[in-house]
Every structure is written in C-alpha cells, then in structure tokens.
Structure 1
Amino acid sequence: MAEAILGDQDQYSCSICLDLLRDPVTIPCGHSYCMSCIGECWNTNDLNGIYRCPQCRQAFNSKPPLNRSTVLAEIMEKLRSTELQVSESAQCLAGPGEIACDFCAGEMIKAVKSCLECRASYCETHVQPHYNVPALKKHKLVKAAVIPVCPKHDKLLEVYCRTDQKCVCMHCLLDDHKGHDTVPSTIECNEKQIKLTDTQTKVKQTIQAKEKELQKMNIDIASHSDSAKKAVENSKKVFSELVKFIEKKSNELIEEIKAEEKADLDQGTKLQKKLQEEITELKKREGVLEDLLQTDDNIQFLHNCESVSSASGSDELPSFSFQPYCSFEDIRKLICELAGRLETTCTQEISKTVNKVSDLSAKRPPFDIVVGDRVRVKPSVVAPTHKWGSVTHFSIGVVKNFPEQRNWTGVVSEMEHVTSAGSDLSTKNDPFNIKVGDKVRVKPSVTTPKHNWGRNITHKSVGVVKDIKSDDSVVVDFPGHANWKGVLTEMEQATNDDEIGPSSLDSNIKIGDKVRVKPSVVTPTHKWGAITHKSIGVVKKIQGESLTVDFPEQKNWTGIVSEMEIVASTGPGLESVIKIGDQVRVKPSVVTPTHKWGAVTHKSIGVVKNIQDESLIVDFPEHKKWTGLVSEMELVTIGDLVDIKVGDRVRVKSSITTPKHNWGGHVTHKSVGVVKDIKSEDVIVDFQKHKGWKGILSEMELVNDSDTDISGSP
C-alpha cells in the first residue's frame, strides 16, 4: 500500500517547493500549495493587485483567502510518515552524477533535498529538522541539486540582471552590475514562465492545427486514391462502351449491306427468270422454223411461212443486263476511309488526353531544382503562370534570373533542367554548344545584353567567338568591335549563310515592304497579339530597331527589324493578290473563320464576287454570298482542282445542291457521264439522257470504272 501511495507522490507535492504539501491550502482554481509557499509567492510578486496561480496562470483581482485544507493535511501526514518509514529502510548510496548528503558520516547517502539558505544537501533523515524546527521551516528547500553560487562573491544567485542577461548575487549589484536593470530572480522566473506558458499554448495550438492538417491530408490522400480507382474504372467502362458502340454500328452496317445484296440478287433473279423464258420461247420458234425448212411441199411451205412470220413478232428483242443499285467496292472504300478517320481521330484525341494527364502529373514540383541550376520553361507550357516577359522557350537561365529578364518569376513545376551535355533544342539555340571559332550573334529575344551593346553592335551583327570563360562569359570579335564581352546564354550560333556584320536581309526592309515574323522566332519581343507566323503585313514605320506593321489581323503592330523577313510580292500565301473573279478557299491553317463556316468547309472552292477593305464576298456551290476575310483565304489554281480531263467519267458532287448551270432535263447526283470538252473552268459532259450538259469543273468528281448511272448510262 505504501508503495502505491509513494508511486503517486508527485500529485501531493507543492509545485513551488517541490516537497510534500505542508499546511496545504487550495486556491479557487483548484491547485494546492503549501500555505507558506503560496503566501510568500504572492507577497513577492504583488503587481498591480493581480494574483496568479503559479501553475495555470489564472488571475485573481483580489488576494484569495488561504484556509488550511484539513482532509488534505491528514493525507499528507499519513503519506509523510509512511514515506519516512520506507525511506529509512530504502536509503541508498549516491551514484555517479547524484548529490550526496552533506551530513552523513562514512557512507555517501543520496540527498533528497537541498537548502538554499544553508547551501547544503540532505538525505531523508537529516532533512527532517527543516520540517520540524520553526527557525528552519522558513528556509527554501529544493530538489537535491548543486546550488549555484556567484563565482566572485561565493553568494547565492538571487538577482537577475536583465542588462547582461544573467543571474548575479546581491554583492554584484554594488560593483559589476551597479546601475543595471535588475529584478529578483523569482519575478524574472515568473515573467519568463508566463512567456513560456504562452509559447507552450501556441505550440499546443500549432500541434493541434498540424494534427488537423495531417488528418485532412490522410482524408485527401485516401480520397485521391479512390478518385484514381474510379478514374481507372470509368476509363475501362467508357472504352468498353465505345467498343460496344462500334460493334453495334458495325453489325448495323453489315445488316444493311446484306439487305442491299438481297435486293440486288432478287432483281438479278427476276432478270434471270425473264431471260430464261425468252430463251425458251426463242428455242420453240427455232424448232418451228426448223420443221418448216424441212417441208418439201412448196404450197404448204409458203402457206405456213406467212403464219410463222406474223406470229413471231419483231426480231428486235430487248437486252437484259444485271445492274446492281449498290457498289460494294465503293462501300469497301468508304469503310476503309472511315476506319482511317476513326483511327486518326482516336489517336489524336487519346494522345491529347494522355498528354493532359501527363501535364497534370508534370505539375508536381520537381524539388531537385535548386538555386544555381540552369533551367528553362518546359516545351509543354504554352503560357507560364506569371507570363513570358522577354523570356521564350529557348531562354536558358540560372535559378535567379534570365539573361533576357532579370529576376524573372516562374513556377517550379513549369521549369526543367538544362545540362551542358545538351538538350532537345536545336544547336543554334543551345548556348552550351557554342565553342571557340563559332559564328554567333545576340539572340533576338535579348533586349539589352548584360554588358551592353558596345560599339556598332546590333541584333544583326555576326562575330566570331574568341574565348569562353568558366563563368559562361564569352569574348567575341565583331567587325566593328573587337573583344566584345557577352554572356553565353545571350548568344546564338549564326549559320554560314549569315554575313559577318549587319544582315543584308534585315537591312533591306523599308517602309511599304510586305513582311512577316521569321519562322525561327518563337515569341516576338513585343508579343504576338493577333498575328501568327503566317500573317503578312505592310511596314508603316521604322525607327532604329523597331518597326510598325499593319497586318490584316492587327493594325499598328510593333516588332523588331531583326525578327522580321521580307515576303516577295509573288510569294505563296500573299492575300493581297486575290481579286474579284478568282477561285479561293479557306486556308488549312484557319480553324474557324472570323465570320463562321456556314455550309462551307476547307474543301469548298468558290469565286470572289466582291472585295471591300479586308472583307470579301465569295460564291461557294454550298453557300452563296459567303462573307470572309482576305487574310483567311488562299487562291486555288487549276492544279489544285480535281485532275479531270476529256474522256473521264464524272458526276456532280454530292455536296452540290444545285449546279451553277442547273441540273438539266434528266441529270441527277447518280447520273454518270463522259467529259467531251473542257474550257477554262467550264466542262461539257455527255450524259445518257442529256447530251452536251454544261457544268463547272469544281462541281464535278471522277467516277470509278465500277460505278454506273442508275439510269443505265455506261
């Protein structure tokens, strides 16, 4: 029983003197202390009439009454007597690092308490006078420990010097610490305890917050895992349903083919039967004629000859031929085309989906990127979160800045390492492939080099690398400036076709020229705006390295001379050569025309009826008076049309609702005829039921030899 009580001894100890409670009192917050300890504490720390519990720091506006707790005092007496009996039989020798009793003779018994007044340590036996003798009861007992003393005055450290942040004795206040900000150690201890309590509270709150974060993270991870499983299951389900859908449509098509086959075979069977009947009749007639020819009686022969001749009817019997409504060779080709389109579409769309999934995983921050690494924006990133600035996909910088723009801000997940061993960029754009002797120039994307332009150096200047330093600086000899110093990442290799000095191509650009952005420029210095690499505009103004261009898509566009190239007036794709009467179509690069498609497609070819500024009116076979932009159209030459020639079998395209020169008497989409003459864009066709039919070449399509006119044309 005693051992059980001693095992819980700490809950019966005063938190001030660390000994078993003596004359225990309980304050309103519920904590218990020795009457003398709490009284001394509150007398010493009476600040502004506020009294605090040393443990929970609860404040009381007035000093609570200290009444002795009788029940708790009796428990303490029983516990103390039991502890004394046990301690007398359980006293042990002081081990290494433990404090020994200063009053035990002979064996070094382990001390349990130290007195700050006596500056001595006591075992359980020798400490009893401090509990019984009135004069010693006022001494301050603490758990057995080495009592710190002032090394200079050999006195107790009772004062805390805030100036020097250390504990000192009373004598130190008169010499080394005279005039310093000092307070009793108990006050400083209490104040620091308050701060530590606040810190402890904040730590507990932080722990609770982190535990909530961990709990939420566990839930999120589990949810993410479940989401991935559902995504896998959904993917399997969707693709399975897609396969079933294709199989269903395949079966429907097969049934349709079989139905068409049956219809054609039924027609053929009827023709076979009719033809067989005619053959039977003809054989009967042949027999009659044979018998007549064998007759020797002239009178009978002549008499029967007239009757046989009148009964036989016309010798011109109708001819029969099997002409099926459906060409299964055409169906085979259509199925092959469909399979090709499906395969292409599936490949493209699935690749897009896979790439998007890869991009999602690529957003995971690559924590291996550290300050000092060479990096660039990933090719898969179309637009960085914090914008391009002057940076491009080709820009390579050190994690701190880019040569084109200092202190550029990006997202770690959008960047990738660039090693000196090479990269997937072209040799021209990879600065780490540049070596001594190479021809180089400043990149168009670099507005101002780190070490400035120097004398007569521009974006068009081409020089020879003379030296490359270990810090990635480079020394270049330009024609007008020898030993020019630059940064390796600001340079690009120049081809052998480039001149040493100003570019002859760039220098030829003048006001009024038609120009476009060079294919080698990924992103122009002043951004794309509404233009693209295919946009062609007219130079309106040139000032130094800058120029202003009017594009059909954007007026007053600002660019840099070195980023532009001249477009010859006879070059392909130049919209300004389009005029009224020309045959045109929408450029393949235009995804959706500005004024929408209507019934027009990329394959539609029409005639320009009117041009006003940048707009034009086109008559397409599928859509009359269609409105578009000149810059979105391209000329169509005879070579772009179907290669139809005299003698070819043709028919009107299924996409043509009404031919330009109308259908004629018996011509339909199924009518097949032969080309008799071609005059410019007009074509003359002989159909079975309409000879000399006039049409337009772009409205016709070739017909395979296996195709026939439903009306019976060849």
Structure 2
Amino acid sequence: MAEAGIVDQDQYSCSVCLDLLKDPVTIPCGHSYCLSCIEECWNEEQGKDYKCPQCRQTFISRPQLNRNIVLSEIMENMKSINSSHVVLAEPGDIACDFCAVEIIKAVKSCLECRASYCEVHVQPHYNVPALRKHSLVKASKIPTCSKHDKLLEVYCRTDQTCVCMHCLMDDHKGHDTIKVTDTQTKVKKTIQAKEKELQIVTTDITCHSESAVEAIKSSKKAFAELVKLIEKKSIKMIELLKAQEKADLDEGEKIQDKLKEDISELKKRDDALENLLQTDDNVQFLQKYESVSCSSGLEDFPRLSFQPRCSFEDVNKLICELTKSLENACLQEIDKTLNKVSDLPTKTPKFGIKVGDNVRVKPSVDTPTHKWGSVTHQSIGVVKKILDELMTVDFPEQKNWTGLVSEMESVVDVSSGSSSQDPEIKVGDKVRVKPTVVIPTHKWGAVSHKSIGVVQKIKPDESLIVDFPEHTNWKGILSEMESVTNEISILDSTFKVGDKVRVKLSVDTPKHKWGAVSHKSIGVVQNLSSRKIPVNIKVGDKVRVKDSVITPKFTWGGYVSHTSVGVVKGKIWVLSYDKYIKSENVMVDFPKHKGWKGILSEMEVIID
C-alpha cells in the first residue's frame, strides 16, 4: 500500500506548485488545485477573464471554490503513509544520495548508477522503462575498483581478491576467475533445488504419515472384524448347545411323565390287593387275586433312565481344544505378520532396484505408462526415490522422471549402458555396434546396428579398426562395440529345433510382443509350428498381467498393476485351433480388486 501511494503521487500533484495537493479544490472544468495556488493565480488576473491554468478554459465570473472532500482524505492518507516510511539514517546506515534536507535511510542501491535511494527517490527505477533494467540490491556500500572506478563483479582465485572487468584485461589477465553473479546464481539454484527437495520430502512425509494412519485404521478394523467373527461363531455355538440341552430336557420330561404314570398304575393295583385281602369270601378272593397278581411284576414296567444324546463334559473338552488351537493359530499368523511388517524397511525390492542404482527403461517396453518425456531406451539415469510401484529417476535429459518399477532394469556398466559385462574383444572377432549406442563417437559412415564386421586392429587408446561389408577400415570405440558369436549370428535365416536365436535388431517390436525378452536375450528353439499354443492357465492359478502389456483390454481398474498377483476365479477356456473357442475372458481376484476382468493372452502364471 505504501509503494502504491508513492508511485501514484504525481497524479495527486498540483500543476501550479508541483507538490502534493494542499486543501484541494476542484474548479468547474474538473481540474483540482491547492486552494492557495488557484486563488493566487486568479488574484493576479483580477479584472480579466478567469482561466484554468491547465486547460485554459475561460470563466466569465470567478467560480466559487469548494473543498474537495474525497481528495482531501486521499491526501491525508498519502501523507501518513509517506511519513511512516521515512526513516532517518543513523550512524552505520546507508543514506540516500539524493535527499538534501534530511538524511533519509536508503532502502535500495543500484549497481549501474552506483547510488543508494530512499523509498521516494527509488521510484523512478520502478517507473522509468530505461531504469527498470538496472540491478537493484538491498541498500549497501557498492564496492568499486580503486584503479578503474568500476564495479567489483569478478573474483580472482589466483590472487584471492575481487576485481572489475577492466582488471581482467591487464593485471589479472589469464588468471583463474569467476563472476560473483555466476556463483550467486548457482547458490540460488541450489537453494531452489533444496527448497524443492524439502517440499517433496515434506509431501512424502505427510503422505507416509497419512498412509500410517490408514494402516492403523485397517489393522483396528481387521482385528475388530476378527473379534466379531469369533463372537458370531460363539453365539452360534451357544445356540447349538441350548438347542441340544432343550432336546435332552424334553426327552427327560417324557421319561419323568412315563415313570409317574407307572407309579400311579402300581399304586392302583396295590389298593386293589389291599381291598382284596379284606374280603371273607375265599372263592372270590382266589378269582380276583389271579387277575391282580398276574400283572403286578416288573416285567410289565420296563426300567427307564435319562440318557442324554450330548455329553456337555465332552463339549467342554472340545471348546478347550478349540481355544488352544485358535490361540496357537492366531498367535502364529499374527507373529508371522508382525515379522513381515518388521522386515519391510530392510526388505529387498521385488525387482532388485534400490535408490542410487543406475537404471533405464526395459527394451520390451514400447511406451512407458507415464510417457517418455525426453527419455529414450538408451537413456541411463539414477534412482532418486521409490514409492510402492513408482520410482523417480534423474536422467541427463530429464530430471525427476517418473516411471513404474516393473518397466525399469538395472544398468551395471554405465559407460556402455549394458547390464551385463561383454566378453573381451580381440583382433579377428566378429563385432557390431551396441544397440544402446545412438550415434558412435566416430559416426556411422555406411555402418548400421545390423552391420557385422571383423576387428582388424585394436589401438592402445581403446579405439579399433573394423572391416564391415558396407565399410572397410571403419573406426570405432571398444566400449561402443559388442562381440557377435557364430551361434547367434543373425546372418542365419534357416532355423531348426535346438538352434540358439534372438530377436533381430531391425525389429522394433515383435509381432507377439516382447514379454520379458529383449534384443540381448538368447534362447533355444523348442518347437517350430504354425499352430497357436494353448494358454495353460486354470482356475486357482496365481497370475499377473504380462510386462509386455501396456494397457489391458479391459483397463487396469485403478488398483491392478504389472506387479499385482491374483488368483483365477472365473471359468477358463483353453485357446487352441483344435477346439471351439467360446471365450478367452478370465476373472481374477487381486488383493485390492476382486472380480477383475482380463483376457488369457494378456496373463502369465506365477509359480511360487
């Protein structure tokens, strides 16, 4: 706000006194002046027509002057702002070189003008186009050369002193020098890079912390669900025991009722015998006694006892065994998981790549998931960060390049760009230019990547002379060449089972894709057939998407990647020309994506 007020002060100046408006008044033509200035002008023109000092508009009668309230408030605000930023220079401070009345503290120094300015006098450097190009720095004493009276902007390492540009032409000619601005620029770039690193690290820490919170939530949820599952099974067990208890009790009540009926019947017979003993008629006694005594034995009332179908003592034993079994199983599995979690920080990455390794994009990858940018198959960079399936790589052509870990390979020999050491090359060997070499040091001539020649001479400076069919006495560098053995010569065009073969260098992408194969891969022919080989995948197999598949037919889904391993759940139809093909679709359960849909030709079996 202060700078805005100072920058715009010209438009609030009186055109008569050229100072800020004091008691501003506005005349009919619209121009504003100090009250005292316009009155003085018109007093001098008394008896004449009254005119505006700026536009010269004439007024027949002297206009009435009224105070412009809005302008007055603006003037007051500007005065307060300007006065608040006026700081007098104290001993040791840099003073403004243009303040004459008061010694005001300078806020900026100009390296071109070699002068220091206060807030007011520095404004032309902000407003005048020619002065905007000057270099303004914090107010300080500007170092100048005592000999040439020029700015000291170069440091002489030889004499360990600061010099001007003219000194480089005489006293310090040929010395080891460096521009101060270059060093400052490097420092600023380093600061910016470190600030960016800090921002990235801060973001990574925040993400990691959020990930930890999610992991804790998932852990709590998993154990809570496990407790709920046990409680649910416990309720089911209790219900089963109660049902068994009820069934046994019902059976016991039936036995009790039967025994009560038998006792009642026996009591009736006992009463009948008692009455019979009281009769005096012997004939009647004998007749009735026969009928009563014949049905009074235990054989008419079989022995009854309570025999429960379930022994709850056995149930207690089973529950105890279950408790011990669950405790052992849970403790073992939980301990395994805890050990795995503990091993995560020191666990070797799945693809054997770690931070600091030299890597490049696999030759089998046509287009990286996160695009090429300025990177190529020949580019070799250093891994800066690995986060889950993603890695950040610094290539010479592009810094902070992002790619998938599964799409990268380690490079051991950085000078040659090869992940394996080539055998020693000697005179007489068949050689060719490595596929990783874009342009040889001594140019191609008539040679190409497919050309194979014979080494004629190897010089001490690591250069060699090769006779190619297309170019004799071709000059190259040892580190840019590779041996070509007879077994894998690409000149052979007839194949038979057992031959060693590889993909031709002239083939950018094989018809049936790369898979895990590259130009350097050498294999043995197992079968020669025009018939399509069935895909041997069945329900229950562990599978993943092939590395050669950039984007699956039914897309990734969001949680599936090249490193995701899932189990085949859907029905599999073997692909063969000998059978009818109904479908090659497959349903796979991945840990983070159940029911994922894919096609057989895009999948490969994972063997534990």
Q: TM-score when scaled to structure 2?
A: 0.32
Q: Which has the larger radius of gyration?
A: 1
